[in-house]
Amino acid sequence: MAVMAADYEEMKARQKRCVCRQCGNELEIRMIIFCQYGGQGLELYCPVCQRIEYGVEEELFALANKFIKETEFNYFLDMPDDKRSLALNKAKIGELFSWLFYELGLCDKDGLTEKYKILQE
């Protein structure tokens, strides 16, 4: 049971500091039932997008938004240029930035590191 409590605490911490990769909304912890025969679990969930969402650091979402606006980035060229395409682009860039920040040591499993905060000063 201790492992489950630790997982819940980690999920709760992630919920507090992360937002949905597509819309930037706050995430909720919900019990998701995958099938009627016992497949369920706690997951981070976006009530706006109505989907299970791991999320991205709030600062990285804002940075992804800024990047898309300033560069007119569009990863999904075959899609109409609408709200859905914009949301998917935000998710894609947020995911890329998240990976990059982890690789550079600016982010870890507990969020943005001191190294990142020092660079911001």
pLDDT, one tens digit per residue, over 58-90 is 999 999 999 999 999 999 999 999 999 999 999
Rounded Cα distance, 58 and 66, in Å: 13
Whether the pLDDT of residue 12 is over 50: the answer is yes
Average pLDDT over residues 35-54: 88
> Residue 46 half-sphere exposure, CB side, CA atoms within 13 Å?
19
More reliable by pLDDT, 40 or 74: 74
User: Domain tally for the chain?
Assistant: 1
Question: Residue 94's pLDDT band (boundaries 50, 70, 90)?
Answer: very high
Average pLDDT over residues 1-30: 87
Query: What per-residue confidence (pLDDT) applies to 18?
Result: 96
Q: pLDDT averaged over the chain?
A: 90
Query: What per-residue confidence (pLDDT) applies to 116?
Result: 77
DSSP label at residue 47: T
Percent pLDDT > 90 in the chain is 70
The residue segments making up the domain with residue 72 are 2-120
More reliable by pLDDT, 114 or 63: 63
